[in-house]
Structure formats: C-alpha cells, structure tokens
Amino acid sequence: MTGTLRVLGLGPGQADWITPEASRELAAASDIVGYQAYVSRLTVRSDQNVHASDNGDELARARHALELAAGGAQVAVVSGGDPGVFAMAAAVFEAIDHGPPGWRELDVAVLPGVTAMLAAAARLGAPLGADFCAINLSDNLKPWSVIEQRLALAVQADFIIALYNPASKARPEQVHKAFAVLRAAVSGDRVVAFAAAVGRKDESLHVTTLANADPGRADMRTLILIGSSGTRLVERSSGTPFVYSSRRWSGAER
C-alpha cells in the first residue's frame, strides 16, 4: 500500500472547531504522530499506532513521520490550531527539503484548521477586522533583535498584532521586553487582550490597555492581541466588553 502523510490541526481546543476533513483523515490514519499534549486530546482506535513524543524537536518528529509514510503507512501528523501557523507543517517540508529525494514524491497534504488567533479574536469580538500580523515571540529559531525590529515595524504599519508563544517557563522575560518595545512606540491607551486556553474549560479573557497590561500574566497557552489605532471597545452592562477593529482607517496616531 502506498504511504500517505496528512498534516492536520486540531484547532485551539474546542472539539467542534476541528474540521470534518481533519476528523475524516484522522480516522483513516494507520499511524498518528504528534506532540503528547495534542495526541492526548484524541480518541484513538486500537488498530491505530500512536507515536507521541514529549520533546520539542519538531524536525525529528517530521522525519519520523516521513519514514513511516515512506514505509507504506497512512500517517497523520497532528498539531494544535492550524498546522501551517507556527506548527508542524513547516517542519515537515523542511525535512523533505533536506531528506532523501524519494520523500519529495510522497503523497503529502496539509489540511487547514482554525488557528489560535482566529479563535481568540472570535471570543473577543472582531479585533482582526483590519490589516494584521502574527509574530512568534519565541527566539529559539531567530535572534531576539529580529523580533524587536518586527514589533517596531508592525506598530509603525499600524497592524493589529497577534503574539504567539509569548512566554514559557524557559522564556519568562521576553514578553516583558516585547511590551517595552510596544510602550515606547504607541500610546498607553492602545487596546490589549490576553486570551488564554481558548476553547477549553479554563479559558480566560482579559481586556485592558497597553499602559495597564501586566505582561507577566501570559504563559504558553496565552495568545496576546495588541490593537491598532482603530481598535475599539464596546462596553456592555455585563461581561467582557466587545473588542473590534474599525474597517475604516481613521488616521489616528500617524
């Protein structure tokens, strides 16, 4: 049987955010490869082989998946969110690029999913309603100076900014440095939202301003959204205010 490899995302946490396509391909897989935290969300059948790992070496995981597919297995590589956004898909193609020529001819496909910033935005209202960018705050694969420069250019462009992987136990300080860059560039009334564990039981949303934000509340399950000059709050008598970004450019702060 010819092997196949499907790279798919489980969404940010809520089961009914997984696309029917991804569910179908998961069910068709003979082998499931992924980080332990994602694999543990799945209901696996006894005829499916699970290859869960708890280390962060994505390239090694990708190579393992490709070896299984080259050997004839129907492989599903699982990520959280969308597999193409700071997740496994890029590692799979990097492995193919630097691997044996035969890997290029394998039947490989990526299945799109709901990435964390879309789920966080939906819970808040419509903060991504105008031009935006997504920045991975981890400096494992790029120098911190590049991240600081991107943040500065992003506020200059007046993008709404989604910050992925803002902090971890190994990197507690960078989110503080990132906020220092932002605070030096735009006024303190800029809307800031912390969306943690979106779509899970312990989901929490916190809407504040750049001046009042405590970057220390971010952890590895938090997505941070920094508003543009056009991001507004709609207060309600109960609950978190709605956050949205005006579709119409206002010219403020430029």
User: Which residues, 41 to 80, sit near its own copies by CB under 8 A?
Assistant: 58
Query: What is the number of other CB atoms lying within 10 angstroms of the CB of residue 120?
Result: 25
Residue 74 CA to chain centroid, in angstroms?
26
The answer to whether the beta carbons of residues 32 and 44 sit under 8 Å apart is yes
E strands within 36-181? 49-53, 74-79, 107-110, 125-126, 132-136, 160-164
d(C-alpha 198, C-alpha 14), whole Å: 8
- Cα dihedral 116, 188, 254, 138 sign: negative
Q: Which is nearer to its own copies, 91 or 213 (CB)?
A: 91
Contact 126, 233 (CB under 8 A): no
Matching residue, tokens 């280390």 = 55
Q: Give, as ranges, the residues between 195 and 234 that touch its own copies (CB under 8 A).
A: 232, 234
Among 46, 54, 202, 236, binds its own copies (CB under 8 A): 236
Q: What is the DSSP string of 194-222?
A: EEESTTSTT-EEEEEETTT--GGG--TTE
CB of 88 to its own copies, least distance (A): 9
CB of 73 to its own copies, least distance (A): 20
Task: Give whichever of 56 and 216 is closer to its own copies, judged by the CB atom.
Answer: 56
Nearer to its own copies, 46 or 238 (CB): 238
Closest to its own copies by CB, 9 or 215: 9
Binding test (CB under 8 A) with its own copies, winner from 13, 34, 80, 129: 129
Size of the site for its own copies (CB under 8 A): 76
What residues between 132 and 161 interact with its own copies by CB under 8 A? 132-136, 141-143, 146, 149-150, 153-154, 156-159
- What is the footprint of its own copies within residues 91-110 (CB under 8 A)? 91-94, 96-97, 104-105, 108-110
Applying CB under 8 A, among 41, 51, 123, 176 the residue interacting with its own copies is 123
- Give the residue from 42, 30, 40 showing the smallest Cα distance to 6: 30
Residue (131 or 214) nearer to its own copies, CB: 131
Which range of residues in 41-49, 70-78, 128-136, 183-191 is near its own copies by CB under 8 A? Answer: 128-136
